[in-house]
Amino acid sequence: MLLYGHQIQSRLLLGTAQYPSPAILVDAIRASGTQIVTVSLRREAADGSGAGFWDMLRDTGTRILPNTAGCHSVQEAVTTAHMAREVFGTNWIKLEVIGHSDSLQPDVFALVESARILCDDGFQVFPYTTDDLVVGEKLVQAGCEVLMPWGAPIGSGQGLRNPDALRAMRAHFPDIPLIVDAGIGRPSDAVQAMELGMDAVLLNTAVAKAGDPVQMAQAMAAAIDAGRAGFSASPMERRDMAVPSTPILGLAELA
């Protein structure tokens, strides 16, 4: 998987919030095999007290993808992105601009405007967006080389609420990496996303809030690998009627 010119082997991206302890977070990161973790700028305190958290993540060898989580306006998102670039030393930014307080649905109008500003300023933007094709087109036109459509509301664990829309995105953007972001709750959800042809899955709550986060991280990694292998193998189409798997011709006739 190629993301802004960087070859990434693991198709699982992992969030770093809500874990029971820093040690469990590190163990989950290593168990998942992920190469990219997302970090909110809010985890880095202005007085530098967050340095231990940053050093801990750096020791895992993963690439940091800062995000603008919690931003609700263009100005807030753009300012947070610039601060994140200074703190983390990367042009990568996961762009979130929330428009609805209950569903945490992206404000797609502010999202596109923010993406255009940041892309023009040299950022490599990973936009958290809906599964709308027109919005996706606008983001690509703004300079985004990756799209991150939601599967369901953030932290809901509902799985893929509109798989047909994700399938349509895959057909419409054959050369754009698509990373399902938000809503994944179980390994079966991750398998479904990958079988639809998605390039990767980003998840946080499903692992962080599991009874055993480390074991769930391993399960999600295995599910993503299985789903990708299934997609690559070109699975059979669904049929409306039964079709015998054993040919009738040549069977013995028993009187």
Q: How crowded is residue 136: how many other Cβ atoms within 10 Å of its Cβ?
A: 23
The pLDDT of residue 46: 44
Share above pLDDT 70 across residues of the chain, in percent, rounded to a whole number: 93
Amino acid at 141: Q
3-class state of residue 234 by DSSP = coil
Whether the per-residue pLDDT at 184 is higher than 80: the answer is: yes
Averaged pLDDT, 223-239:
92
pLDDT in tens, 9-19: 999 999 999 99
Averaged pLDDT, 38-46:
68
**HSE-CB of 16 using CA atoms within 13 angstroms:** 28
Q: Characterise 246 by phi-psi region: left (phi > 0), alpha (psi -120 to 50), beta (else).
A: beta
Indicate yes or no: pTM above 0.85: yes
Sorted by sequence, the CB contacts under 8 Å of residue 36 that are 6+ apart come out as 8, 10, 13, 14, 62, 63, 64, 65
Q: Exposed (0-12), middle (13-18) or buried (19+): which is 175, by Cβ within 10 Å?
A: exposed
pLDDT interval class at 195 (50, 70, 90): very high
Establish whether 183 is an annotated binding residue. Answer: yes
Establish whether 205 is an annotated binding residue. Answer: yes
The pLDDT of residue 58: 85
Q: Which sign does the torsion angle of CA 58, 90, 206, 9 carry?
A: negative
Establish whether 152 is an annotated binding residue. Answer: no
Q: How crowded is residue 220: how many other Cβ atoms within 10 Å of its Cβ?
A: 28
| Residue of 94, 116, 138, 228 with catalytic role | 94
Whether the per-residue pLDDT at 250 is higher than 90: the answer is: no
Long-range residue pairs from 131-140, CB within 8 A, at least 24 positions apart, any chain: 131/162, 131/165, 131/166, 131/168, 131/169, 132/108, 132/165, 133/168, 133/169, 133/172, 135/108, 135/111, 136/169, 136/172, 136/173, 136/176, 138/112, 139/111, 139/112, 139/115, 140/173, 140/176
Tokens of 57: 């993540």
pLDDT in tens, 142-170: 999 999 999 999 989 999 999 999 999 99
Selected residue with higher pLDDT from 42 and 241: 241
Sorted by sequence, the CB contacts under 8 Å of residue 235 that are 6+ apart come out as 195
Amino acid at 61: G
Active-site annotation holds for 94: yes
The pLDDT of residue 47: 46
Whether the per-residue pLDDT at 92 is higher than 70: the answer is: yes
Q: Exposed (0-12), middle (13-18) or buried (19+): which is 252, by Cβ within 10 Å?
A: exposed
Sorted by sequence, the CB contacts under 8 Å of residue 215 that are 6+ apart come out as 31
pLDDT in tens, 55-76: 888 889 999 999 999 899 999 9
3-class state of residue 118 by DSSP = helix
- As a whole number of angstroms, the distance between CA 206 and CA 181 comes to 12
Q: How crowded is residue 253: how many other Cβ atoms within 10 Å of its Cβ?
A: 4
